[in-house]
Amino acid sequence: DRIARRQDREFSEFRKRLKNTEQFKVTGGVFDDATFAALYKLVQDGYIEAIGGPISTGKEADVFEALAPEDETVAIKVYRINASDFRQMRDYLEGDPRFENIRGDKKRVVLAWVKKEYGNLLRAKKAGVRVPDPIAVQRNVLVMEYLGDETRAAPTLDDADLGNPETAYEVVREYIRRLYDAGLVHGDLSEYNLVVDDGELVVIDVGQAVTVHHPNSEEFLRRDCRNVANFFAREGVDADGDDLYDYVVSE
């Protein structure tokens, strides 16, 4: 068991390295053992080399920059098993044929959720919607393409320089429609889950996206359309939630 002992040692060194980094003092967040193990596995598998600064601290998950091999930057989203509102998460898994047999404990629901976010990113990408490229999932950690540059992560739409709001609205409208054609409804779409990366609109945070089989998918789609249309109407675009909904579901 020399190998096992060596792995233990490497693991605890990796953990020390993480614990010593400044940003964990800033966020006050400390990863639990299983999360450390997941991050370590991602290191061993060659997806990441080191964790960088936090981009965002949320209720359910934190997003960090991470260094990947060949000097690439990636983003990692680390879900908190314990803080998550798993009852609500479970409701969002309902009716999704990919996750039919998920019931029971918190951990299983959160882990299914992370896989769902990864799967939704893939599906959105295939449907021609610009999303962060999904790279890997390990337990409660999602690795994806980093959006932004060396100085900062890409701003969300509410903070971004819109350029021409009419054009931006048309792009988002097309995204919602393509998602819907691919059988997906985002479910939490607004100016806060769209970012502008180098002038390009990108849809993020697709963990809660449901398939059209979900009993509330129509209600979620109406709400997404309302949020988006209201935002653009405030930017001076002639946009309306009901019109947007009709456009999305029309043949």
* CA gap 230, 225 in Å, rounded: 8
Active site residue 188: yes
* Minimum CB distance to Mn ion smaller for 84 or for 193: 193
75 binds, among ligand ADP, Mn ion, none (CB under 5 to 8 A by kind): ligand ADP
For 127-161, b/e burial (b = at least 16 CB within 10 A) is: bebbbbebbbbbbbbbbbbbbbeeeebbebbeebe
At 219, list the tokens. Answer: 């209600």
Work out the angle at residue 76's Cα, subtended by the Cα atoms of residues 72 and 82, and round it to the nearest 5 degrees. Answer: 165
What is the number of the residue whose Cβ is closest to Mn ion?
Answer: 205
205 part of the active site: yes
Tell me if 143 contacts ligand ADP by CB under 6 A. Answer: no
CB of 132 to Mn ion, least distance (A): 12
Task: Please name the amino acid found at residue 88.
Answer: Q
d(CA 229, CA 222): 10
Instruction: Answer with the entry of ligand ADP, Mn ion, none that 209 interacts with (C-beta below 5 to 8 A by kind).
Output: none
Provide the pairing of β-strand 141-145 with 134-138. Answer: antiparallel
Structure tokens at 198: 């180098």
- What is the smallest separation between the CB atom of 147 and Mn ion, expressed in angstroms? 13
Q: HSE (CB half, 13 Å, CA atoms) of 161? A: 3
Binding mask 28-67 for ligand ADP (x = CB under 6 A): ---------------------------xx-x-xx-x----
62, 188, 197, 224: the catalytic one is: 188
For position 153 contacting ligand ADP by CB under 6 A, the verdict is yes
146 is a contact residue toward ligand ADP (CB under 6 A): yes
- Both structure tokens of 75: 């983003």
* From 191, 197, 205, 224, residue interacting with Mn ion (rule: CB under 5 A): 205
Residue ranges that bind ligand ADP, judged by CB under 6 A: 55-56, 58, 60-61, 63, 75, 77, 132, 144-148, 153-154, 156, 193, 195, 204-205
Q: Which residues are catalytic?
A: 188, 205
Residue ranges that bind Mn ion, judged by CB under 5 A: 193, 205
